[in-house]
Amino acid sequence: MRVTQSMLAQNSLRHLSKSYELLGKYQDQMLTGKKINRPSQDPVVAMKGLYYRTNLKEVEQYKRNLSEAYLWIENSEAGLEQANQGLQRIRELLIRTKNDTNSEDERDAVARELKQIKDDLVAVANTQVAGRYIFNGTKTDSAPVSGDPPVVNNNNEPFKIELSKNIQIQVNITPDNVFNQALFDTIQDIQNALENNDTTNLDNLLGQLDDHINALSAERAELGARYNRIEQMENRIGQQEVISTKILSDNEDADIERVIIDLKEQESAHRAALAVSARIIQPNLVDFLR
């Protein structure tokens, strides 16, 4: 095959063009820190990157959901603690006043304090966090307790938050286990008995109050168990985030040390190609006639 000057020049230009492409590729990797900047450069890396990035976004969303779950449970625990203190105070007052040694004025004073505790329990049952009622199941836009004497209208559907793929955790208490109508009726009956100086039914009311306190303690224990589970899930999600980030980095991030070496080698090769091309592309007769 006859090799002409034109063919030599075209081959040299084609190889120089490829050399420039490689230089551009390595420079892009240096500037962006990524193996590829367009899906066409490596479709497999691009597709894997899309999958890994979606997985990482899911993990980040679960972390945000964890914050929401902690918000609900910690505020619920604080509310139950306040309610427990109120009920314990009512029990203390009831034991003090159910004997016949107290005067009518003393029982009336206790009744007034008990009313304040009852109003505080209503406020606890109507606790709002970020504008949502946390002790009314999924009906977070309406108060569960109203009026005086208190009237309870609880919603007992569990409020759940997804903390992992297909795993939802209930983050609220069951309202009827704590802030039920029977609780406020018992407190109201105690208040009425003390206001009327009637001690005949106080022992029975004390037993009812103890039942409510025990139910509250059981609900707190259940809430604490769910809190422990959420903490374990938080640890797993943290590990998943580390793993997902590493996999995404391994797939997309360029090895900067390797890129620097390749860039230096390509620069040397490019200079050599330029020098060789300068010798191959010689002046022709037309150049001498100008």
pLDDT in tens, 118-174: 999 999 999 999 899 999 999 999 999 999 899 999 999 999 999 988 899 999 999
Fold annotation for 67-248: f41 fragment of flagellin, N-terminal domain (1.20.1330)
- Structure tokens, 219: 């609900």
pLDDT in tens, 7-40: 666 776 776 677 667 676 777 777 777 777 777 7
Going along 165-233, which residue ranges are E strands?
167-170
* Domain boundaries, given as residue ranges, for the chain: 67-248
Q: Which residue has the higher pLDDT, 274 or 90?
A: 90
- The per-residue pLDDT for 1 is 56
- The per-residue pLDDT for 51 is 83
CB of 127 within 8 A of CB of 118? no
What's the predicted TM-score (pTM) here? Answer: 0.76
Contacts 24+ apart (CB under 8 A), 234-242: 234/66, 236/164, 237/59, 237/62, 237/63, 237/66, 237/163, 237/164, 240/59, 241/56, 241/59, 241/60, 241/63
